[in-house]
Chains A and B, each alone.
Chain A
Amino acid sequence: MVSIEDYGEYETEWCPGCGNFGILKSIKQALVNLEKDPHEVFIASGIGQSSKLPHYLKCNMFNGLHGRSLPPAIGAKMANHELTVLAVAGDGDCYGEGGNHFIHNIRRNPDITLIVHDNQIYGLTKGQASPTSEPGMKTKIQNHGVFNTPLNPLAMAISLDCSFVARGYAGDVAHLITLIERAINHRGFSLVDVLQPCVSFNKLNTFKWYSERVYKMDESEYARDDQVHAFAKSLEWGEKIPLGVFYEKGKPVFEDNFDALKSSTLVKSKYETEKVNELIDSFV
């Protein structure tokens, strides 16, 4: 039996009341519910307040570069596809600096769960606009208000046929736990975008602001593999903000595409140096 104590208790560098706490609690509980032992779990992260998360639970982890949580996660998954691999990132991290990796890993569809702490602002650098900031929001940099159209990560993922797309809310831990469990259980690339209030810098999208708007979708009312419905739903934003699984579709998984991974993991496979002799002979 895996217990929550196995994942440890650590002092954090987060502000009191930060939405990150709800996400950390949800990830730990989801891993416990799924009976994952810490040594079977690998979490990669980028840079930002969100990306410090793996330091606050006991597991294999790689806290890499800004925007680059996904590439090391893919590398780790390829080296040992028996690991449960998660990538955590922030909205600036994943949708700004790392946008290219976000797009192309949706296309690759490895069995990885990406959890994005989406607080619509840069926290660690103290309050600049992020790709998901609301137009008009004033910051010390965007002092006439944000001009750029916000990036809609769910609509983008659904349009790329991402195999699992969900939105959670850091203020609803019980619901977020189930979303993360489902995302990990889903075989293929899973995106969980988590609305996360930044209590220090985002004075617009607060706990109150989100709590007044979010609602859980009733999954009995739609087919989860209906891409057009999912896309339409992903455009809903403003007075009402839907939470839950927007889109889920079984697709061929990246790892299954390699002969090298069929009988064993790469890390357990043998070295066969003498096999090159045949290739050497072809140059004679």
Chain B
Amino acid sequence: MVLAKTFKKSGFYVFATQYYLSRVRGGHNTFQIRISDAPLKSMTENLDVLIALDKVSVEKHLDEVSDGIVLVDQDAIGIDLEHDTIFHVPMLKIAKEVCGNKIYSNSVAMGAALGLLCSEFDSLSKVLEKTFMKKGQDIIDTNIKAARAGFDHAIVNYPHGCKFKVPEVFDQDFQMLIAGNDAVALGALAAGLKFLAAYPMTPSTGVMTYVATHADKFGVVLEQAEDEIAALNMVIGASFTGVRSMTTTSGGGFSLMAEALGLSGITETPVVIFISQRPGPATGLPTMTEQGDLQFVLNAAQGEFPRCVIAPGTPEECFYQTAEAFNIADKYQIPVFVMSDQYLADSLFTCKKFDSSKVKIERHLLSGHELRTKHEEYKRYKFTPLGISPRAIPGQEGVVVVGDSDEHNEAGHIDQTPENRIRMNDKRMKKLGLLQEEIPGPTVYGPENAHTSLISWGSSYGPLEEVVDILHSKGQSVNLVHYNYVYPFPVSKTHEILRKSKKMICVEVNATGQFARLFESETGIKIRENILRYDGKPFTPDFILSALDEKGMV
């Protein structure tokens, strides 16, 4: 993390991902950083520099280092490999000698890595200063001393000089280094989130944690619910009473929310549900990634009611589209999903600074004045031409607001007559058609009239953008048709965009092609080829390119 921030501070575009196991300590964990002087959108399969802190890391990843450097402390991990890529830095020894304590060996390692790249040292000391600010000047100084010793050791001792000398760049203050979860939390705060109830579940917890850190400042009430059932029901109660409310979870927790999802649907109570996917079923792979819950989210809960599914692909989209999710929820009085996954939630992306002035808050609530000047009695579920009933909230003088999970009449009271059922159901479903007209269609990256279209949704955007660039540079006619607004499906916009594509390949992180199924059932267009990954890891450009190659499609 410190190293990633250091590169960002030095002006590089940085992309960082972590791989960890579901345990509090130990196990094999990695943190991969990719840097460039041009924008980066994904990770890669190969490594240039491997900093290995244990033996397993060397054994597991040596093959991934092609023509690179493996930085190890041979004293500490007890290997004696005569391999010309291995570069020994006595990190523990340096830490003990220079700082008197081996815990500074991490800083030694980071300094050594920077030294190998012949990078500037200044940025690292700035980042270390910021990182240890709360721990006092002594700790800052000692860490900088350790890092400097590692840096110097590398410069002096590495025989081949700067193998990966990186070009000089300038710090770009208009860029952020941010993970998807933090961006979702910022989007919610910008949109006027006032109430969040959730139950911790990896990999969604980061959003809850970020909001909790800033709750007092933003006037947010955040409560850790006793279970996910309570979480969504609490959120519904708060939203019914007029405040912007959301819950955060992963697939397993959302399984418990299915009934309350229908409650939001029939009571027409706006809610925003953030789901960070991980591979299931049941506990699955808690710390890894998958886009495996799309069909579940589309179909969860008994009965039929409108819902909206948004799947951002970058931190910018996490920010702006989470904020937009609240507007859609309020306007249509429906549940709105923001779907992420472990990859998007936890990876660090370099991206343009968010512009909060672009966030508009549109509540669509009746004011006290509007209620006072109305002559008829207020009815929460009044039939209107658009199917959207003007919304008052409990506590407003002169009205009472009645919500019911039973089928109900305009006033909100139980009504089981067939005529009422049909009218109420039609009223609710009408909103889905309206929303379908309003939501944006897919984005197109690359030439509009490409011969081959790669089709994807959500977090797979980054690696595919790189794939299109690579294929384009080889003279291939390929574009990317990418969906953030997944449901209701933008059918007519899709037909318009894909009119000229001769070949379509759907690329997604699951085993059965869930988005392709949605696409086909909504558009009637058959997608004949899929590229799927479901080993718990996200797509990389290399993975997609070799899959395309195997299929003979490029």
Contact = CB atoms under 8 A, between A and B. Distances in A.
In the A-B complex, the 6 residue pairs with the smallest Cβ-Cβ separation, listed nearest first, are: A75-B237, A72-B237, A71-B233, A60-B394, A75-B238, A79-B241
28 contacts: A40-B395, A42-B395, A60-B402, A61-B403, A62-B240, A64-B237, A64-B405, A65-B259, A65-B260, A68-B233, A70-B230, A75-B197, A78-B238, A79-B242, A83-B241, A101-B230, A261-B221, A266-B195, A266-B221, A266-B243, A273-B357, A273-B359, A275-B189, A276-B186, A276-B189, A276-B354, A280-B186, A284-B175
Interface residues of B, number: 69
Interface of A: 13, 38-40, 42, 44, 47, 52, 55, 58-65, 68, 70-76, 78-80, 82-83, 100-101, 103-104, 108, 258-261, 266-267, 269-277, 279-280, 283-284
A39 B372 CA distance: 14
Contacts of A103: 226
B221 A260 contact: yes
A259 B216 contact: yes
Contacts of A68: 229-230, 233, 260
A279 B353 CA distance: 11
Contacts of B354: 276, 280
A72 B259 CA distance: 14
Contacts of A61: 400-404, 412
A161 B412 CA distance: 37
Contact of A259 (B219, B241, B245, B393): B219
A267 B357 CA distance: 23
A83 B229 CA distance: 24
Contact of A75 (B175, B226, B239, B398): B239
B187 to A, nearest CB: 9
A79 B243 contact: yes
Given A64-B267, A65-B260, A71-B197, 20 more contacts: A39-B394, A60-B395, A62-B267, A63-B404, A63-B405, A63-B414, A71-B237, A74-B237, A80-B395, A100-B229, A101-B230, A259-B215, A259-B219, A267-B242, A271-B361, A276-B186, A276-B189, A276-B354, A283-B178, A284-B175
B356 A75 contact: no
A60 B405 contact: no
Contact of B218 (A63, A71, A79, A272): A272
Interface in B226-260: 226-227, 229-231, 233-243, 245, 259-260
A80 B239 CA distance: 11
Contact of B394 (A42, A55, A269): A42
B467 to A, nearest CB: 27
Contacts of B405: 47, 63-65
Q: Chain B: interface secondary structure?
A: mixed
A271 B353 CA distance: 21
B176 A284 contact: yes
Interface of B: 173-178, 182, 186, 189-192, 194-195, 197, 214-221, 223, 225-227, 229-231, 233-243, 245, 259-260, 263, 267, 353-354, 356-357, 359, 361, 393-406, 412-414
A260 to B, nearest CB: 4
Nearest to A97: B229
Nearest to B9: A284
A73 to B, nearest CB: 6
B381 to A, nearest CB: 13
A271 B192 contact: yes
For B227, B229, B233, the residue with the greatest tally of chain A CB atoms inside 10 Å of its CB is B233
Nearest to B402: A61
Contact of A79 (B195, B267, B361, B403): B195
A60 B400 contact: yes
B195 A75 contact: yes
A39 B364 CA distance: 21
For B182, B234, B237, B267, the residue with the greatest tally of chain A CB atoms inside 10 Å of its CB is B237
Contacts of B192: 271, 273
A63 B412 CA distance: 9
A104 B228 CA distance: 13
A277 to B, nearest CB: 6
